[in-house]
Chains A and B, each alone.
Chain A
Amino acid sequence: MNYPFWDVPLIGSGWVIGCIAIFHVMISHFAVGGGFYLPLAERKALKEGRAEWLQTLRGHARFFLVLTGVFGAISGVGIWFAIGLTHPEATSTLIHNFVFGWAIEWVFFIVELTTAAVYYYTWGRIPDALHLKVGWVYAGASFCTLVIINGILTFMLTPGEPWLQVAGTGAEASRFWQAFFNPTYWPSLFLRTVVCTSLAGVWALVTTSRIDGVKQPALKIELVRWSVKWLVPSFVLMPLLLGWYLWMVPVSQRALLSLGMSTIGSGAFTQVTRAALVIVMSSATILAIVYFLAYRNPLDFTFSHAVAVVGVALMATASAEYSREMLRKPYVVGRHMFSNGMRVKSVAAANRNGYLAHTMWTRTNVSPQYARGEAIFRGECMSCHTVDGYRSMRLLLNGRNRASIANLLTMLHDYKPDSPYRRFMPPLAGTDEEVRLLGDYLDHLENGAGAQ
């Protein structure tokens, strides 16, 4: 354990990233998709002389600026803040590898934020053609931010063979481009691009649903229908792209998807399957609502309908991002680093010299006989488990006695090829003595044995 551990009770530190990131994804994908929506709509309005469209688009541009420039930017920085605290080891790996990538990313961020503001504030003040150009610069810059970050995100799932060969040698950055354009880079880029276009449509419905259908029926019908069309690419291409993406994911990870079909047994890792069900369900709902309510009856399509669609889209996005994260198990960086921050190559050393060999402190509010076990629990288990909340250790141990806990830990420590936990859990690294200490601590947690 080289870093202090950030203990967030009940939800676990992972969900801090999760909550910020899901919120961010909803907005950042809108920032990219909406970046194309605005200039394309403006172009159409200018070409066909639709003055009333421009009025609505201006309002939409303001909504867009506030949402992306304030909430998108803040939550983006929030992710940085959270991953550094939650997963210092993995964050360090990413920085060592991609510091140049992030430098490029920040250039595009600055261009993006600047042009978004310029686009809104110069509305009607500069020549139309120039204004439209600002819109296109925004669209380009914003798409580039996706192009860059996608490389880093997909790297974590599939770093690729070339990079894995040099991992841990200090020469990782020499394989920058191989790691960047890793096996899932392209399917993920296309997948996210169509998600961006559909979120552009979903958010545009929020604005267009507020057009007064009694005063301006024609405008409402046109704009609501035009916005709905932005969802078409994703619904046509999504199944294909998702298939492509999953095909590029290692078989062992893909197998996680089917784990939950037959069971919800306690301790079985079924979350991916269950979240995948929610994705299918919520996507189908969006399709049905936008077609039957928005496209067929634009005049009856109200603001609350639009908010409901955003809510369902949030459900779809949340479960999709959650599944993608879970698909990486038991790694945080595929085949290189386990989800508790332990490098695959360091496991043998930790088994030999002890997991706590470099740990300087244990907690003083835990009785000394359990303090070292507690430190191992924090370092090796709490990246995914909490004591009483999410993936509660108390619940999962399910009344096991000391001997049964020892069996479980031995299974995790030996990490034999046929171990069922191997599919989604890292090995338990440490000496036999440490395994015993962790067992004592868990027994204390579960059965309250001994005095605290």
Chain B
Amino acid sequence: MGSAIYNWLDERLGLTEAMALAREKRVPVHGHSFWYYWGGITLFLFIAQALTGVLLLVYFRPGADAYESVRQITYQMHFGWLIRSAHSWCANLMIFAIFVHMFSVFFMKAYRRPREFGWFTGLALLALTMLFGFSGYLLPMDELSYFATKVGLQIPAGVTLIGPAIEDMIRGGAEVGEFTVQRFFALHVVVLPALFLPLLGLHLWLVQKHGNAVPPAEEAKPAAARLSIPFFPNFFAKDLAMWLIALNVLALLASLFPWGLGRPGDPLVPAPPGIHPEWYFMSSFEMLKVLGRWFPGAAGEALGMIIFNAGLVLWFLIPFYDGSNDSGRRGRIAHYFGLLVLFVLVVTTAAGYQSLK
């Protein structure tokens, strides 16, 4: 009976081919294998975001009612607070996981030929995830999210020439208000997912097609000395165990440190002290501030923007500079560039938090 059903489905869906495809892929085993889990962890957290997000969607009301509906979710719906806390914590964990994934890919040189598009799509997914975070942060419309969004909008506003126009368009008016919530909501639940999902599909397909990259040290070994295990079911089982750990961390954070809800956001009330963007925007926020201090005036602002964007472009285009396994000196320079970026990110983030005090 079971096999009859399987055969029926197999003939129509090609299950055997899919299984063969999954079995064919092998995952290398070496000292840095740990970093292979982070893409999977990110994927898991994204799935958790989609599920909890849909549950929140059931009760959330964008527009003027936004705060009240989040208040109901947090204080009245059974376990509404849990779903909301899980969604907020998961967003932070997901961005953290992407950063770990990105830097591990960078230092393992997994962006080199033929994996350039894995790198590009990955960066695009990171940018979309940060937009998810930014748009989602405003939706409760409490004091914190209101003022943090106001502050955060300074980043797009800083873009030369078109910045203010972009800011106005995102905000839906001269001030952050119910129209902003409406726009952010549309962005958060329709526009961004519509962009994110196909990109994610492409990204995953590329991983399946090219397999895991091995770090250069491992590549130098003779083929016989390299160990690997099949992706399915061996690595998949380990992946699932990691997902389980991620789920536990998420559950622990969401239940023990539930996300609170502040007072309603009110433009007439002075901003509470210590308002700042979320930690993943802290670095760009601080960098723009510092560059603004170094190069005062309009020309300086433009120069600051150019430096800032040049860094982003270089980061994006790294596969073209360090594109093959035998690029020797370029490989080393790319490595130092990566360390520099990591250092700048950490230092500016820390400086950002320091300057709040």
Contacts and interface: CB of A to CB of B under 8 A. Distances in A.
A278 B74 contact: no
A265 B247 CA distance: 25
Given A264-B260, A277-B82, A297-B237, A288 B244 contact: yes
A308 B237 CA distance: 15
A149 interface: no
B75 A292 contact: no
Given A288-B244, A292-B237, A274 B77 contact: no
Given A263-B74, A263-B76, A264-B74, A315 B248 contact: yes
Contacts of B247: 281, 285
Nearest to B240: A292
A246 to B, nearest CB: 19
Interface in B254-274: 255-256, 258, 260
Contact of A278 (B237, B255, B260): B255
Interface in B54-109: 74-82, 85
Contacts of B258: 264, 270, 274
A394 interface: no
Contacts of A212: none
A281 B255 CA distance: 10
B165 interface: no
A292 B241 contact: yes
A278 B252 contact: yes
B102 to A, nearest CB: 25
A128 interface: no
A224 B248 CA distance: 24
Contacts of B75: 262-265
Contact of B78 (A262, A277, A305, A308): A262
A289 B245 CA distance: 10
Contacts of B199: none
Interface residues of A, number: 24
A282 interface: yes
A51 interface: no
Interface in B199-225: none
A274 B253 CA distance: 10
B273 to A, nearest CB: 13
A300 interface: yes
A381 interface: no
B334 to A, nearest CB: 32
A261 interface: yes
Nearest to B81: A264
A292 B74 CA distance: 36
B244 A285 contact: yes
Contacts of A277: 82, 251, 255
Contacts of A270: 258
Interface in B106-153: none
B76 A261 contact: no
B234 interface: yes
Counting chain A CB atoms within 10 Å of each CB, which of B75, B76, B79, B255 scores highest?
B255
A10 B44 CA distance: 35
Contact of A289 (B79, B85, B241, B256): B241
A292 B238 CA distance: 10
B251 A266 contact: no
Interface string A300-317: 100001001000100100
A398 to B, nearest CB: 10
Contact of A293 (B77, B237, B252): B237
Contact of B77 (A262, A278, A292, A297): A262
B65 to A, nearest CB: 20
Nearest to B251: A281
Contacts of B248: 281-282, 285, 312, 315
Nearest to A288: B244
B70 to A, nearest CB: 12
A270 B237 CA distance: 36
Contacts of B74: 263-264
Interface in B169-227: none
A289 B260 CA distance: 32
Interface in A32-77: none
A338 to B, nearest CB: 26
A369 to B, nearest CB: 29
B241 A293 contact: yes
A263 B82 CA distance: 9
Contacts of A278: 251-252, 255-256
A266 B255 CA distance: 14
A262 B76 contact: yes
Contacts of B82: 277
Nearest to B80: A262
Contacts of B245: 285, 308
Contacts of A266: 260
Contacts of A281: 247-248, 251-252, 255
A274 B241 contact: no
Counting chain B CB atoms within 10 Å of each CB, which of A264, A270, A288, A293 scores highest?
A264
Contacts of A262: 75-80
A258 to B, nearest CB: 9
A288 B247 CA distance: 12
Interface in A269-299: 270, 274-275, 277-278, 281-282, 285, 288-289, 292-293, 297
A263 B237 contact: no
Interface string A159-195: 0000000000000000000000000000000000000
Nearest to B257: A274
A270 B81 CA distance: 11
Nearest to B256: A274
A292 B245 CA distance: 14
A300 B240 CA distance: 14
B233 to A, nearest CB: 9
Nearest to A322: B256
Contact of B79 (A261, A275, A293, A305): A261
A261 B82 CA distance: 9
Interface string B230-242: 0000100110110
B229 to A, nearest CB: 9
A312 B74 CA distance: 28
A440 B305 CA distance: 54
B163 to A, nearest CB: 37
7 contacts: A261-B78, A264-B74, A264-B81, A264-B258, A278-B252, A281-B252, A293-B237
Interface of B: 74-82, 85, 234, 237-238, 240-241, 244-245, 247-248, 251-252, 255-256, 258, 260
Interface of A: 261-266, 270, 274-275, 277-278, 281-282, 285, 288-289, 292-293, 297, 300, 305, 308, 312, 315
Given A262-B77, A270-B258, A281-B255, 16 more contacts: A262-B79, A263-B75, A263-B76, A264-B85, A264-B260, A274-B256, A277-B251, A281-B247, A281-B248, A281-B251, A285-B248, A292-B241, A293-B237, A293-B241, A297-B237, A315-B252
